[in-house]
């Protein structure tokens, strides 16, 4: 019996117990489908996180802060009405900062491993005026605007008095749509050290979509407008006010040395984090969830493997005389073993092909539907994404489990004595 004959015989024998085989294939199908979907979910979500990391600031820089817990975090649902008694200030990072001094900036510049430092002024507006109403205003950090998803218009351009507002603010500020808001003028009211208020007009450059990291929950000014507001904020006093920075972006000589630089800055009383640090917790949680789901899928495959064992053991029992006849005619135990393992692999192949194909097709369709409906607020997120190497690995894993399951009945069949098998009723 050639290997070609063995493959043909294995395929034909598989469908002798049609109902039994179909049920076993269904079990393998469910495991392969589940593993394909969970793997695709992990790939899709992690790809979105990678894209968010790439768009969220400078991946080769450290963001240095002196921070303290914020008493009341922004909910991101829209602007709050202005209350003179409420002076709590939040930034795009959701943190209230104590501020970096010139001395702190010098320390960062002198830290080994830091190539250059770009400080950001700590601007605290009094309120925002729009359509006759006043709203509390906590400006985001200009660097937050790098790579943000824009619903309409564009992020604030340096050299212009512009603000990019969150999409959740559009209706509250009196605009009918994001497109309607672009080009309109808002009034930012500042109070200097002498207690004198002054109004600064800012053009709405665009409307931004909040990212996975929670950035863009507050209006984002251009760098030049931010500096102009700060210049008025510290004016009017009898003496010059020392510069205070909300944070500093430290570009490193070698990004791989970030942990060492972070440790040195921590010793100096500052907190430094990379973009990956800020989004790392999302990746950790998602990876843990995907790992649990994958474990459940593997358990389902192992349960299906028991079905393969049961199916083939019954097949061996039913074909005992046939096995004895094959061995009496000179078929070796190795070929008998190969015949039954081929049957197991064929069952695994059917389940793997059906499960993986269904998973890719259904997952891709569901991902498109969710992106247009429930996940429309997260542009660029495809809940399921599939890569050929991962799909191939899943198929190989299913076949390996099926082969391992088939060895048990195959060994039993190969070890049968031909004379005893021929006498079997």
Predicted confidence at residue 89, as pLDDT, reads: 41
Predicted confidence at residue 1, as pLDDT, reads: 59
DSSP 139: P
Based on its alpha-carbon atoms, the radius of gyration of the chain, rounded to whole angstroms, reads: 33
Share of the chain above pLDDT 70, in %: 83
- DSSP letter string over 22-86? HHHHHHHHHHHHHHHHHHHHHHHHHHHHHHHHHHSS-TTEEEEE-EE--SS---SS-PPBP-TT-
Predicted confidence at residue 67, as pLDDT, reads: 52
pLDDT in tens, 295-348: 888 888 888 888 888 888 888 887 778 878 877 877 788 888 888 888 889 999
Which residues neighbour 230 within 8 Å (Cβ) at sequence distance 6 or greater?
121, 122, 123
- Predicted confidence band of residue 95 (pLDDT cuts 50, 70, 90): very low
Question: Averaged over 37-57, what is the pLDDT?
Answer: 75
Task: Give the highest mean pLDDT range of 97-101, 309-313, 356-360.
Answer: 356-360
- Predicted confidence band of residue 383 (pLDDT cuts 50, 70, 90): confident
Predicted confidence at residue 324, as pLDDT, reads: 81
Of 295, 407, 405, residue with least CA distance to 24: 405
pLDDT in tens, 386-404: 989 999 999 999 999 999 9
d(CA 371, CA 87): 39
In the block, residue with structure tokens 């979105």 = 48
Question: Averaged over 168-189, what is the pLDDT?
Answer: 92
Predicted confidence at residue 102, as pLDDT, reads: 85
Q: Which two tokens stand for residue 381?
A: 């997120």
Predicted confidence at residue 358, as pLDDT, reads: 95
Q: Decide which of 155 and 214 is more confident.
A: 155
Lowest mean pLDDT among 30-44, 105-119, 138-152, 336-350: 138-152
pLDDT in tens, 54-81: 555 566 788 888 755 444 444 455 666 6
Predicted confidence at residue 180, as pLDDT, reads: 93
Question: Averaged over 88-116, what is the pLDDT?
Answer: 71
Helix (H) or strand (E) holding 117: strand 114-121
Predicted confidence at residue 98, as pLDDT, reads: 61
Predicted confidence at residue 73, as pLDDT, reads: 42
Predicted confidence at residue 69, as pLDDT, reads: 45
Q: State the distance between the two ends of the chain, measured CA to CA, in whole angstroms.
A: 25
Write down the mean pLDDT value for the chain. 81
Predicted confidence at residue 59, as pLDDT, reads: 65
Predicted confidence at residue 72, as pLDDT, reads: 44
Q: Which two tokens stand for residue 374?
A: 């429930």
Question: Averaged over 353-362, what is the pLDDT?
Answer: 94
Beta bridge partners of 199: 189
Q: Which two tokens stand for residue 131?
A: 């359509």
Task: Give the highest mean pLDDT range of 93-107, 160-174, 363-377.
Answer: 160-174
- DSSP letter string over 153-175? E-PPPTTS-EEEEEGGGTTTTT-
Question: Averaged over 141-145, what is the pLDDT?
Answer: 69
Predicted confidence at residue 377, as pLDDT, reads: 64
pLDDT at 182 over 90: yes
């Amino acid at each position: 019996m050639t290997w070609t004959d063995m493959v043909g015989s294995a395929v034909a024998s598989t469908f002798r117990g049609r109902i039994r085989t179909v049920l076993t294939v269904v079990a393998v199908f469910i495991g392969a489908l589940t593993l394909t979907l969970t793997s695709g979910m992990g790939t899709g979500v992690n790809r979105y996180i990678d894209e968010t990391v790439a768009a969220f600031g400078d991946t080769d820089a450290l963001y240095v802060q002196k921070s303290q817990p914020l008493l009341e975090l922004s909910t991101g649902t829209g602007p709050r009405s202005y209350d003179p008694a409420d002076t709590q200030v939040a930034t795009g990072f959701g943190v209230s900062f104590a501020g970096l001094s010139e001395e702190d900036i010098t320390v960062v510049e002198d830290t080994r491993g830091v190539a250059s430092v770009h400080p950001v002024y700590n601007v605290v507006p009094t309120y925002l005026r729009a359509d006759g109403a006043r709203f509390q205003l906590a400006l985001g950090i200009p660097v937050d605007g790098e790579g943000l998803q824009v619903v309409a218009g564009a992020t604030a351009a340096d050299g212009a008095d512009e603000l990019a507002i969150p999409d959740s603010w559009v209706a509250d500020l009196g605009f009918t749509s994001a497109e309607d808001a672009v080009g309109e003028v808002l009034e930012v009211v500042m109070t200097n050290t002498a207690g004198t208020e002054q109004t600064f007009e800012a053009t709405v450059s665009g409307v931004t979509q909040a990212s996975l990291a929670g950035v863009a929950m507050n209006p984002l000014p251009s760098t030049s407008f931010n500096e102009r507001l700060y210049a008025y904020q510290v004016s009017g006093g009898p003496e010059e006010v020392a510069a205070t920075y909300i944070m500093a972006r430290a570009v490193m000589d070698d990004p791989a040395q970030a942990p060492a630089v972070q440790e040195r800055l921590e010793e100096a009383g500052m907190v430094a984090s990379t973009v990956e640090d800020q989004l790392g917790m999302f990746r950790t949680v998602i990876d843990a969830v995907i790992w649990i789901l994958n474990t459940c899928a593997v358990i389902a495959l192992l349960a299906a493997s028991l079905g393969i064992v049961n199916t083939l053991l019954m097949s061996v029992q039913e074909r005992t005389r046939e096995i004895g006849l094959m061995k009496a005619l000179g078929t070796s135990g190795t070929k008998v073993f190969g015949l039954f393992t081929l049957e197991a692999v064929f069952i695994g192949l059917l389940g793997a092909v059906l499960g993986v194909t269904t998973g890719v097709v259904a997952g891709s369709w569901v991902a498109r539907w969710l992106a247009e409906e429930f996940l429309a607020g997260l542009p660029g997120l495809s809940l399921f994404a599939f890569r050929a190497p991962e799909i191939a690995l899943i198929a190989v894993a299913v076949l390996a489990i099926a082969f391992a399951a088939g060895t048990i009945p195959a060994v039993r069949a190969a070890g049968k004595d031909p004379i005893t098998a021929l006498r079997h009723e």
